[in-house]
C-alpha cells in the first residue's frame, strides 16, 4: 500500500509540456482557437458560469452585462468582448459581433470614466483591438454573403440591434471618395488568404481593414489625375467605428457610433481620447484581391499578336496613353515608372510593388506608376508613346513646375521595357530617321498628325525630369531568339501592327519617293525585328549612351554557374545586357523573368535608397 500511495499523483501539480504546447495553452482565444482564453474562463469560473456558457450563452452574457460596475471592471469587460465574439461565431448573430466591438472599445477607450486601462504588455490588450476590428467587419457584413465567400462589409447608417440595446450608426461621407471616385464594395481582408506573393504586409492598429473598389464614374468635380487611376483598382482602406463614451452608456443600452473610412495612402493615425492611434491596413491583401481573376494575365500573349486588347479593359473615362498610377498623385513623392517587357503586362510587377509598398520609407517617399503598351509594336513607336505619356502626366500633375519630387523620376524597365526606358534618357539626334530615309525630315510632306507621330517615334531627347533608369534583363545588344530570321518572320506574319504606324510609313514614302521608306513599307518592323542583334536601329540605340545627367543601373540575369560573360538568362546573353555607362551592375542567377526575384527587388530597393540620399531626401 505504501508503494502504491507513493506512485499516485498529488491533487495539485504540474505536467511538463514542450514549448509550443505551453505557448498554445497561454494564447488560446476566441479568434485563434474558437475557445475562450484563460483570463475569460477565470471570470466565468469566479461567477460560477463556466459550464452554463456552453448551453446558455445568451443568458450568461446578459448576467455578466447586468453585473458590470459603472467604472473599471476590466476583467469582465474583456470577457464580455471575447464571449460575445465567441457566441457570434457559433450563432452567426451579427448583434453579438457588434457587441464585441462595443465592449472592446469601452475597454480600450473608457473616456473620463475612472478605471485602469490594460497595459500594453497584457496579451488581452492586442486581443481587445482584434475583437473590436473583427466585430466591425463581421457585425456589418452583408447577411446574404455565403459563409465560404468574400465578406462584403455594408457601411450604411441606421439603427442596429445589440443584445443589450440599440446602436445608432452614422457614416462620415468624406471618407467614401478617393482619387475623385466613390468607394464601393468593401471586402474584409481579415477573411482573405493571400496567395502568389511572398510577404503579406499588414499594418496592425485600429479598425476593420478592407479592400474597396471604385465606382465606374467619377464622383463629381474632376480631380487632377483621376483619369490615370488604374483600372480594376482595389484600395486598402479601414473602417473605424467611433463609439465615443460607450463605456458610460453601456448600462442604458442606447449607444451612438460614427463610421469613418480612411485610405492607406492618406491617413496613418487618428486621435482618440487625446492619444494617437495607428490605423490597421492590409495593402498586400488589397493588391492580391485586385489581381484575382485579372484579365491582364490572360491577355498578355493574345495582345502581343493582336494588339489593342489591353485598351478594351481600360474605361473610356481613363487616360488612353497607357500611363496609370496605383494611387492618386501625391506632390512630394518621387514617381517610379514601371515598364513591362514583351508579351507581358503591369501585373508582372506585383511582387515588386508589394515589396516597395511594404517598405515604410519607400512608401513615404515614392509613388508607383505603370506603363502598359502593345509590345509587338516597333520599339521606337512604343518608346515615343511612353515619352509622350510621361510629358503629358508631368504637365497635368505639376503645371507650374513646383514639385521637386517629380523632377527626380526613376524609370525601371524589364526586357524590352528596358529599351523603352533607355529612350527616355538619350539624345538620338537624327540617327533613327537617317536609318529609314535619305531625305531630311523637314522636307517630308505629310499631314500634321503623321509628322507628330514620326517626330515622337524617331527623335528623342533626355526627359529633364528623369534622373535615374534601371535596366532589368534588357537586350541592349539584342535578344538571342530574335537573331533567327524564321522567328522574326513568323512574328511579322502573326502580329497586327497599328494602322497609325503603317499609314505613317505609307504617307512618308509616297510623299518622298524615298527607296528606304518604300522598303520599310514593304516589310514594316515589329519589336522582334528591333531586338535582332543585327538590326540597324538596335545597333544605333546601343551606340547612344545614356545621358550623363541620368544615373543608369543594370540588373542582369544569368542561368547556371561559371563566368557570367559566357552565360545568358535563356533570352538575353550577359554580353548583350551589359553596358559600360551603368554606374552599378548586379548579377542575378536566375532566368529572364527575374523582376520578381528577391535579389532583384533588394537591388532596386538599394538603388531607390541611394536615389533618396542623392536627392537629399534622407541622410546617408
Q: Please tell me the distance from the alpha carbon of residue 590 to that of residue 568, in angstroms, as a whole number.
A: 9
Question: What would the mean pLDDT of 579-591 be, rounded to a whole number?
Answer: 97
Residues 473-512 as b or e (16 or more Cβ within 10 Å = b): bbbbbbbbbbeeeebbeebbeebebeeebeebbbbbbebb
pLDDT band of residue 114 (cuts 50, 70, 90) is low
Global pTM reads: 0.93
Structurally, at CATH architecture level, domain 294-614 sits in: 3-Layer(aba) Sandwich (3.40)
Give the pLDDT confidence score for residue 113 in this predicted structure.
Answer: 60
**Quick one: 620 exposed, middle or buried, by C-beta within 10 A (0-12, 13-18, 19+)?**
exposed
399-408, 418-427, 439-448, range with the lowest pLDDT: 439-448
CA pair distance 587, 599, nearest whole angstrom? 9
pLDDT attached to residue 2: 59
Residue 31 has pLDDT above 70, yes or no: yes
Q: What is the pLDDT of residues 61-99, one digit of tens each?
A: 999 999 999 888 899 999 999 999 999 999 999 999 999
Q: Is the pLDDT of residue 273 over 90?
A: no
Model pLDDT, residue 536: 94
Q: Where are the beta strands (DSSP E) in 83-157?
A: 152-153
DSSP classification of residue 441? G
Render pLDDT for 222-259 as a digit per residue (tens, 0 to 9): 788 999 998 889 999 999 999 999 999 999 999 999 99
Mean confidence (pLDDT) of the chain:
92
485: confidence class by pLDDT, cuts 50, 70, 90: confident
Task: Check: CB of residue 397 under 8 Å from CB of residue 225.
Answer: yes
A 10 A CB-CB count for 61 gives 23
Q: Where are the domains of the chain?
A: 27-286, 294-614
Residue 209 in this model has a pLDDT that exceeds 80: yes
Amino acid at each position: 500500500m505504501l508503494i502504491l500511495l507513493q506512485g499516485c499523483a498529488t491533487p495539485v501539480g504540474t505536467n511538463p509540456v514542450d514549448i509550443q504546447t505551453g505557448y498554445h495553452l497561454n494564447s488560446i482565444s476566441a479568434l485563434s482557437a474558437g475557445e475562450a482564453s484563460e483570463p475569460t474562463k477565470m471570470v466565468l469560473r469566479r461567477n460560477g458560469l463556466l459550464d452554463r456558457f456552453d448551453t446558455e450563452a445568451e443568458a450568461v452574457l446578459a448576467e455578466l452585462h447586468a453585473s458590470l460596475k459603472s467604472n473599471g471592471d476590466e476583467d469582465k469587460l474583456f470577457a464580455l468582448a471575447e464571449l460575445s465574439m465567441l457566441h457570434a461565431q457559433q450563432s452567426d448573430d451579427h448583434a453579438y459581433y457588434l457587441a464585441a466591438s462595443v465592449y472592446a472599445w469601452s475597454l480600450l477607450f473608457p473616456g473620463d470614466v475612472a478605471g485602469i486601462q490594460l497595459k500594453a504588455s497584457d496579451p488581452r490588450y492586442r486581443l481587445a483591438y482584434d475583437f473590436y476590428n473583427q466585430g466591425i467587419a463581421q457585425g456589418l457584413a452583408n447577411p446574404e454573403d455565403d459563409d465560404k465567400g468574400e465578406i462584403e462589409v455594408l457601411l450604411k447608417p441606421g439603427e442596429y440591434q445589440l443584445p443589450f440595446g440599440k446602436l445608432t450608426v452614422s457614416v462620415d461621407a468624406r471618407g467614401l471618395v478617393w482619387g475623385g471616385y466613390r468607394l464601393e464594395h468593401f471586402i474584409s481582408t481579415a477573411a482573405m488568404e493571400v496567395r502568389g506573393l511572398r510577404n503579406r504586409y499588414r499594418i496592425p492598429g485600429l479598425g476593420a481593414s478592407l479592400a474597396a473598389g471604385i465606382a465606374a464614374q467619377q464622383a463629381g468635380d474632376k480631380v487632377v489625375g483621376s483619369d490615370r487611376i488604374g483600372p480594376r483598382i482595389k484600395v486598402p482602406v479601414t473602417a473605424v467605428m467611433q463609439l465615443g463614451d460607450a463605456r458610460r452608456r453601456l448600462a442604458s443600452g442606447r449607444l451612438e457610433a460614427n463610421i469613418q473610412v480612411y485610405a492607406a495612402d492618406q491617413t496613418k493615425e487618428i486621435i482618440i481620447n487625446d492619444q494617437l492611434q495607428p490605423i490597421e491596413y492590409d495593402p498586400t491583401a488589397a493588391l492580391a484581391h485586385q489581381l484575382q481573376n485579372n484579365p491582364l494575365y490572360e491577355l498578355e500573349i493574345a495582345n502581343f499578336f493582336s494588339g489593342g486588347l489591353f485598351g478594351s479593359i481600360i474605361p473610356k473615362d481613363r487616360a488612353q496613353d497607357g500611363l496609370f498610377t496605383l494611387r492618386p498623385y501625391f506632390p512630394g513623392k518621387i514617381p517610379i515608372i514601371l515598364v513591362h517587357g514583351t508579351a507581358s503586362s503591369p501585373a508582372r510587377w506585383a511582387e515588386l510593388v508589394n515589396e516597395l509598398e511594404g517598405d515604410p520609407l519607400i512608401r513615404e517617399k515614392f509613388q508607383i506608376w505603370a506603363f502598359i503598351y502593345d509590345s509587338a509594336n516597333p520599339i521606337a513607336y512604343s518608346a515615343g508613346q511612353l515619352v509622350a505619356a510621361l510629358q503629358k502626366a508631368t504637365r497635368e500633375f505639376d503645371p507650374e513646375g513646383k514639385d521637386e519630387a517629380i523632377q527626380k523620376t526613376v524609370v525601371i524597365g524589364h526586357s524590352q521595357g528596358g529599351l523603352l526606358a533607355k529612350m527616355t534618357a538619350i539624345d538620338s539626334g537624327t540617327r533613327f530617321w537617317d536609318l529609314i530615309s535619305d531625305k531630311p525630315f523637314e522636307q517630308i510632306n505629310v499631314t500634321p498628325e503623321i509628322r507628330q507621330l514620326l517626330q515622337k517615334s524617331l527623335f528623342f531627347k533626355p526627359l529633364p525630369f528623369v534622373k535615374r533608369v534601371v535596366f532589368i534583363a534588357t537586350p541592349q545588344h539584342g535578344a538571342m531568339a530574335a537573331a533567327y530570321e524564321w522567328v522574326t518572320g513568323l512574328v511579322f506574319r502573326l502580329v497586327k501592327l497599328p494602322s497609325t504606324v503603317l499609314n505613317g510609313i505609307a504617307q512618308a514614302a509616297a510623299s518622298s519617293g524615298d527607296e528606304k521608306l518604300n522598303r520599310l513599307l514593304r516589310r514594316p518592323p515589329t519589336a522582334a525585328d528591333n531586338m535582332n542583334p543585327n538590326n540597324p536601329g538596335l545597333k544605333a540605340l546601343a551606340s547612344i549612351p545614356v545621358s550623363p545627367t541620368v544615373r543608369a543601373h543594370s540588373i542582369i540575369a544569368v542561368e547556371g554557374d561559371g563566368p557570367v560573360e559566357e552565360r545568358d538568362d535563356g533570352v538575353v546573353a550577359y554580353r548583350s545586357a551589359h553596358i559600360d555607362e551603368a554606374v552599378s551592375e548586379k548579377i542575378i542567377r536566375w532566368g529572364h523573368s527575374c523582376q520578381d526575384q528577391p535579389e532583384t527587388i533588394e537591388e532596386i530597393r538599394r538603388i531607390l535608397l541611394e536615389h533618396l540620399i542623392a536627392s537629399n531626401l534622407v541622410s546617408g
